[in-house]
Amino acid sequence: MKTDSKPIIIAVDGFSSSGKSTMARRLAAAIGYRYIDSGAMYRAVTLYALDHGFISADGTPYSEAIISSLHDINIDFAIQADGSQHTMLNGVDVEKEIRRLRVSNAVSPVAAIAEVRHALVAMQQALGKSRGIVMDGRDIGTVVFPDAELKIYVDASAETRAQRRFKEMIEKGAAVTYEEVLANVVHRDHIDTTREESPLRRADDAISLDNSTMSLEEQDAWLLDQFNKVMSR
């Protein structure tokens, strides 16, 4: 690696539960960059909407109500003693709350609202101003940072991803079945790839990674290798 290298922006995009957050977080820690989970921001807006009755019983968001509340929604990340980050919604730690199935089930339609995306994309771009970040999401390499020096697109089958997510949720004590988790993954994939506003797609200059059969260590090594290649250019 060149010692005079300027910090870069690393975009990690992919389907839900593709393991992209874990890999982005680990890469950021290994290279001393800041990690930003853009999905957490969409989840925080969704939690706000749920708590304010802005989502109907059948999961349809009341877009107008959400849009006019955007200026009342402040999202931040608080760094913990162990280095992890907790999502803060209007000053309250909502890290646990935004991971619950209640939010997971409601988030995709909220993330499909153009005005919500515009507001969050602007926040994400501001967070990347000083570079030296790894951000994961769906549109980071295509919309948020089209000039990111390193773009990774993570791919894995819906079954593999559902299996991983199911295991994670069971370990956290959630009462869910594999079928429920798979249905949620497939449903979210559909909304994320077919929405009109910046759907999930691979940026032309992104490097694809199918991590279905990779161990965490193999994944870390592969990512570090990609990073070092960019830095030595």
16 binds ligand DC (CB under 6 A): yes
Considering only 42, 145, 153, 227, the residue that binds ligand DC (CB under 6 A) is 42
User: How many chain residues touch ligand DC (CB under 6 A)?
Assistant: 14
The two tokens of residue 105 are 């089930």
43 binds ligand DC (CB under 6 A): yes
Intra-chain end-to-end CA distance of the chain, in Å = 9
- The residue among 39 and 61 lying less far from ligand DC, judged by its C-beta, is 39
Report the 10 Å Cβ neighbour count for 2.
8
Shortest reach from residue 211's CB to ligand DC, in Å: 15
**Interface stretch with ligand DC, choices 23-31, 138-146, 171-179, 215-223 (CB under 6 A):** 138-146
Shortest reach from residue 18's CB to ligand DC, in Å: 9
- The residue among 38 and 85 lying less far from ligand DC, judged by its C-beta, is 38
181 binds ligand DC (CB under 6 A): no
Shortest reach from residue 2's CB to ligand DC, in Å: 30
Nearest CA-CA partner of 31 in 150, 173, 167, 170: 150
- The residue among 183 and 231 lying less far from ligand DC, judged by its C-beta, is 183
Residues in the chain: 233
Strand partners of residue 209? 154
At residue 24's C-alpha, the angle toward residues 128 and 228, to 5°, is 85
151 binds ligand DC (CB under 6 A): no
**Torsion angles phi and psi, residue 173, rounded to 5:** 85, 15
- The residue among 140 and 181 lying less far from ligand DC, judged by its C-beta, is 140
Nearest CA-CA partner of 76 in 19, 127, 118, 34: 127
Widest CA span of the chain, in angstroms? 55
Report the 10 Å Cβ neighbour count for 68.
12
> Where along the sequence are the contacts to ligand DC (CB under 6 A)?
16, 38-39, 42-43, 107-108, 111, 137-140, 188, 192
